[in-house]
Amino acid sequence: MTARFDGKVALVTGGGSGIGRATALAFAREGATVMVAGREPSELRDTVALIEKEGGVADALPADVTHGMDVIRLVKTTVERHGRIDIAFNNASYASEPTPLAEICEAVWGDVLSTNLTGVWLLMKHEIAHMKENGGGVIINTAANIGIHGRVPGFGAFAASKAALSTLTRTAAREYIREGVRINAISPGSVDSEATVQVQQDSPIGRVARTEEIANTVLWLASEESSFVVGHDLVLDGGATA
């Protein structure tokens, strides 16, 4: 059986831990060459080592998605080393400590939005430009179930950034699908990862998600199996916001 992503190149930001690491591993198991990016070089090296231990192919590049030049370098280097970018999983996220809205300082507000919204816009800006000129591609962005889907006290900046990202994803999807770039988002709830914002919510399923479950969904959205899914924000929270 041919793996779904044989010959494909996948770029995964936030790839040093949590959902990003699980998804990078999943892509590699399905035949993709994976470039992982993030702020912590040691975490990225660990992800690459895990992939290589299983016989997969991976590379790493430290990058801060809030810096435009870092994003340009990330996309350019991935193409230079591996020939193209077929799939981009824009997963890097940041959340501050729970704080009532009127007590959030401007610096924290700016940090959250620059990573979760502006950073993804920068990534899509350069990923889309590459994909348009190279036969198309697939982009999946990580939003959150406490964006437009649910409200949790203390996470105003995070929720605002992720709600905006969901809308940005839908807009970009409509703009670029006819140019061969298919764009969607996922909105996870609580996940069994230290790198994920942990929010106690009543979930009909009775547990938090496993990172592997989120990764499986990302791979489905990246595959031809979901070829008619465009501009969707898929909520993965065990029914918490249903």
Q: Which domains does the chain have, with CATH numbers?
A: 9-236 (3.40.50.720)
| b/e 57-89 (16+ beta carbons within 10 angstroms → b) | ebbbbbbbbbeeebbebbbeebbeebebbbbbb
pLDDT (average), residues 27-53 = 98
| b/e 13-44 (16+ beta carbons within 10 angstroms → b) | bbbbbbbbbbbbbbbbbbebbbbbbbbeeebb
pLDDT the model gives residue 153: 87
pLDDT the model gives residue 113: 97
Tell me if the pTM is above 0.85.
yes
Asked which of 129-133, 148-152, 231-235 is least confident by mean pLDDT, the reply is: 148-152
**57 dihedral zone (left: phi>0; alpha: psi -120 to 50; beta):** beta
Residues 187-207: pLDDT tens digits?
998 898 755 554 555 678 888
pLDDT (average), residues 38-67 = 98
Classify 135 as helix, strand or coil: coil
Give the C-alpha separation, 112 to 129, whole Å. Answer: 25
Q: 22 with 214: CB under 8 angstroms?
A: yes
Asked which of 53-62, 67-76, 77-86, 145-154 is least confident by mean pLDDT, the reply is: 145-154
* DSSP state, residue 191: B
Residues 98-129: pLDDT tens digits?
999 999 999 999 999 999 999 999 999 999 99
pLDDT (average), residues 163-179 = 98
Give the C-alpha separation, 212 to 166, whole Å. Answer: 22
Count CA atoms within 13 Å of residue 161 on its CB side. 25
pLDDT above 90: percentage of residues in the chain: 83
Q: 170 with 223: CB under 8 angstroms?
A: no
